[in-house]
């Protein structure tokens, strides 16, 4: 098995001019495997082509799924644990397999149904989200496209936006008109760039 780090080292070695034969010898992989690594930009995850066979538990999957479906409507304290489910299968349906098979199947089902939430919390003044875009503004001279810089503090969700008639100063190339700099805990300071 090739780790992601090893994958990157093989690709870098080839980029730096090392031959496939030398890479195979250095990293202890076959030349065929090295060519596979060089053909794919990222490692491909292993995926099963078919569901693994469960000769003993397989006929009971439908019964377990039905019990789990009725458990969803029951209060949390009344839902089946893996041991209770195993005992019920043995008593009511003459299940002859082991407890571990039931426990693993139940864990796999619950893992697929579990909702994942990653909280994003930042300290005050630590993270600022910026976005740049264009809007059309009606001036007395007519409609004109205006560049807009939007900034939002992640902690307080406090927004700041500034519209600029141009991204560049007249006669100057590739120089932004404005430099906006947030001060931790204070307002955002925006000032023209020094010449």
pLDDT in tens, 139-171: 888 888 888 888 888 888 888 888 876 665 444
173 pLDDT above the threshold of 90: no
Distinct helix (H) and strand (E) counts, the chain: 6, 5
Predicted TM-score (pTM) of the model is 0.43
**33 three-class SS:** helix
Q: What is the mean pLDDT of residues 113-130?
A: 79
CA-based nearest residue to 4, from 42, 35, 30, 31: 42
| pLDDT tens-place string over residues 51-109 | 788 899 999 999 999 999 999 899 989 999 999 999 999 999 999 999 999 999 999 98
- The residue-averaged pLDDT of 18-24 equals 96
Report which secondary-structure segment, H or E, holds 155.
none
* Rounded average pLDDT over 120-141: 83
């Amino acid at each position: 098995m090739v780790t992601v780090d090893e994958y990157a080292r093989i690709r870098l070695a080839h980029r730096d001019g090392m031959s496939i034969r030398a890479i195979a010898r250095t990293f202890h992989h076959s030349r065929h495997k090295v060519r596979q690594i060089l053909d794919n930009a990222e490692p491909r995850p292993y995926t099963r082509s078919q569901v693994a066979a469960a000769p003993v538990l397989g006929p009971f999957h439908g019964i377990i799924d039905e019990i789990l479906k009725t458990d969803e409507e029951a209060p949390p304290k009344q839902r089946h644990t893996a041991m209770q489910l195993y005992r019920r299968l043995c008593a009511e349906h003459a299940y002859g397999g082991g407890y571990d098979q039931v426990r693993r199947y139940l864990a796999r089902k619950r893992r697929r149904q579990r909702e994942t939430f990653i909280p994003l919390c930042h300290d005050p003044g630590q993270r600022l989200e910026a976005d740049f875009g264009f809007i059309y503004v009606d001036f007395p001279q007519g409609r004109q496209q205006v560049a807009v810089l939007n900034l939002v503090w992640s902690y307080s969700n406090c927004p700041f936006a500034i519209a600029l008639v141009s991204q560049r100063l007249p006669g100057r190339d590739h120089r932004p008109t404005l430099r906006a700099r947030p001060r931790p805990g204070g307002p955002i300071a925006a000032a023209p760039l020094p010449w």
